[in-house]
Amino acid sequence: MITIPQVVEEIIQRQPFLIDMINDGLINHSSLARKIKPEIEEKLYKTVQLGAVVMALKRLKKNLKTKLIIKLPFSNPDILVRSNLMEITAPTKTLNKVKYISRLHSIANEDNLFFAITEGVVETTIITSRDLKKELLKVIDVDNVIAQYQQLSAITIKLNKETVTTPGAYYQILKILAWENINVIEIVSTYTEVTIILDDKDVDRAFSVLKKKL
């Protein structure tokens, strides 16, 4: 039979920011208990006592402190900012991949320009310098474009190899941006790098907060 603590944990786990506030002691347990009590009763098909919900929240807080202690495998990482970028997404089957993507990559390497390509199941996204826009449009027919963004910048964070086996490492990075209400348009990662694609207007603030908190 499902219990009050189980339902409480299920509700809280759906809200990452709420987990952080509970862990930091910023939430009044009684107020939160009153808010989630109706949902608990709906799931359990019975009336529950407010005190039982408060107790479940207090116990959950102790468990969260243990679960959320994430020792990041990097400190003060190298952070590189690139600007003047654009992104285009199109159906993979419509791309002239073999001939033109290879040429794009070569041009980008020769001129030290940013170039990243992510191929999904049915669509492909290319992120590169706006200087390559004309060449890029030889790869992608405008009529087939699913989405495109022109005023972009990239923040690349250099990570240790241990990051790949550290649960929650990327969450810690993205949480910093989310708390600052900074939108992430795209994420591109390799073994020891994660690149975050942002709107130009957000990049200065994003760089500042990441540099301060990582």
The model's pTM is 0.75
**Domains and their CATH numbers in the chain:** 4-67 (no CATH), 79-213 (3.30.2130.10)
Task: With CA atoms as reference, report the closest residue to 153 among 184, 207, 195, 197.
Answer: 197
pLDDT 10s digit of each residue in the chain, 214 long?
789 999 998 888 787 678 778 877 888 999 999 999 999 999 999 999 999 999 999 888 777 655 555 567 778 899 999 999 999 999 988 877 666 788 888 888 888 899 999 888 899 999 999 999 888 888 888 888 999 999 999 999 999 998 888 877 888 899 889 889 999 999 999 999 999 999 999 999 999 999 998 8
Q: Which residue has the tokens 């189980």?
A: 6
| Residue 147 to residue 124: CA distance in whole angstroms | 11
pLDDT in tens, 147-189: 999 999 999 999 999 888 887 788 889 988 988 999 999 999 9
pLDDT at 41: 93
